[in-house]
């Protein structure tokens, strides 16, 4: 294997391959089965979708990973809307996980987002993976996660400033764009177009 990595924009002809990769990568990770392949299918047509940051990673010509971004906002307590990005899903092909590719893809995507002038990326995720790429807890910038009761664990809510200090002193609330709230029934219907795979209930799943 030559290990030649290319990170480029997703093309129309990649879409099915990427959906298969996302499905396999998320399968049985957070729930029995997965919904994320339907999610990306829907997000690509969302008005908040950022086409320039719809990225595919190739390893020696093979599709190895993907990441996408959406426009979002922080609503400050003084009524200001601050434009930000959110990111996800991000995934790496199952047989290529834990070799550093996810980190390479994430860091490259953040550089691209930064060069396009975006100020910050706010996400739900695990600090173990994202912390290594400069993400901090949302609470470190006085930003609350929409709908989360006071005192509840918010450690899933992370942010990364692309412009240093972009969210400093900006007390407010962030919530993911509505496009992420897909209908599970529609996702299950969409999944029928993919090869049958066993859904398993496994430890560590969220649902
Ligand atoms: C999460 C994912 C994209 C990471 O890609 P990867 O190529 O396996 O990750 P890397 O090998 O680059 O690992 C980067 C770091 O994150 C950590 N890490 C990897 N996967 C992790 C996971 N699922 N949870 C927490 N930490 C993780 C590794 O320990 C590694 O730490 P290090 O850089 O300090 O050694 C990949 O595992 C994946 O596709 N998972 C399924 C889909 C998913 O969960 N996406 C994220 C949704 S928030």
| Whether residue 89 has a cis bond before it, omega within 30° of 0 | yes
| Å from CA of 91 to ligand 1 middle | 8
Ligand 1 closest atom vs CA 123? 48
97 CA distance to ligand 1 centroid (A)?
7
As a whole number of angstroms, the distance between CA 181 and CA 159 comes to 20
Q: What is the pLDDT of residue 158?
A: 98
Buried b (16+ CB within 10 A) or exposed e, 24-37: bbbbbeebebbbbb
Candidate from 86, 96, 102 with most ligand 1 atoms within 8 A of CB, to mutate = 102
**Entry field: residues in the chain:** 207
Residues 81 and 32: their CA atoms lie apart, in Å, by 37
133-162: b (≥16 Cβ within 10 Å) or e: eebeebeebebbbeeeeeeeebeebbbbbb
Instruction: State residue 2's pLDDT score.
Output: 74
Measured between alpha carbons, how far is 120 from 98 in angstroms, rounded to an integer? 26
Ligand 1 center–CA 120 separation, angstroms = 21
Find out whether 75 and 81 touch, Cβ atoms under 8 Å: yes
Name the DSSP class of 79: S
Nearest-atom number in ligand 1 for the CA of 98 is 11
Q: What is the mean pLDDT of the chain?
A: 97
Nearest-CA residue for atom 23 of ligand 1? 129
Contact 138, 176 (CB under 8 A): no
Range 3-16 average pLDDT: 97
Q: Ligand 1 centre from 36 Cα, in Å?
A: 16
Give the three-class secondary structure for 166.
coil
Confidence of residue 1 (pLDDT cuts 50, 70, 90): low
Residue 24 has pLDDT above 80, yes or no: yes
Question: What pLDDT, on a 0 to 100 scale, did the predictor assign at position 206?
Answer: 83
Which domains occur in the chain, in start order? 5-191 (3.40.630.30)
Ligand 1 pocket residues where CB is under 6 Å: 25-26, 29, 88-92, 97-103, 125-126, 128-129, 132
Sort strands 143-145 and 157-161 into parallel, antiparallel or unpaired. unpaired
Phi–psi pair at 152, nearest 5 degrees: -75, 155
- Nearest CA owner, ligand 1 atom 48: 125
Instruction: Give the pLDDT confidence score for residue 207 in this predicted structure.
Output: 75
């Amino acid at each position: 294997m030559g290990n030649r990595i290319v990170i480029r924009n997703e093309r129309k002809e990649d879409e099915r391959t990427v959906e298969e990769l996302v499905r396999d990568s998320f399968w049985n990770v957070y729930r029995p089965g997965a919904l994320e392949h339907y999610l990306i299918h829907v997000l690509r047509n969302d008005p908040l979708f950022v086409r320039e940051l719809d990225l595919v990673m190739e390893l020696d010509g093979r599709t190895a990973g993907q990441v996408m971004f959406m426009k979002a906002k922080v609503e400050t307590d003084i009524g200001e809307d601050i434009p930000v990005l959110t990111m996800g899903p991000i995934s790496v092909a199952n047989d290529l996980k834990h070799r550093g590719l996810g980190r390479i893809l994430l860091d490259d995507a953040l550089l691209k987002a930064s060069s396009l002038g975006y100020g910050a990326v706010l996400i739900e995720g695990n600090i173990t993976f994202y912390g290594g790429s400069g993400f901090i807890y949302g609470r470190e910038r006085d930003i609350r996660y929409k709908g989360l009761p006071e005192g509840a664990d918010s450690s899933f809510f992370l942010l990364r400033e692309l412009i240093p200090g972009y969210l400093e002193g900006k007390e407010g609330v962030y919530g993911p764009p509505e496009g992420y709230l897909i209908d599970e029934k529609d996702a299950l219907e969409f999944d029928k177009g993919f090869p049958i795979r066993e859904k398993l209930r496994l430890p560590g799943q969220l649902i």
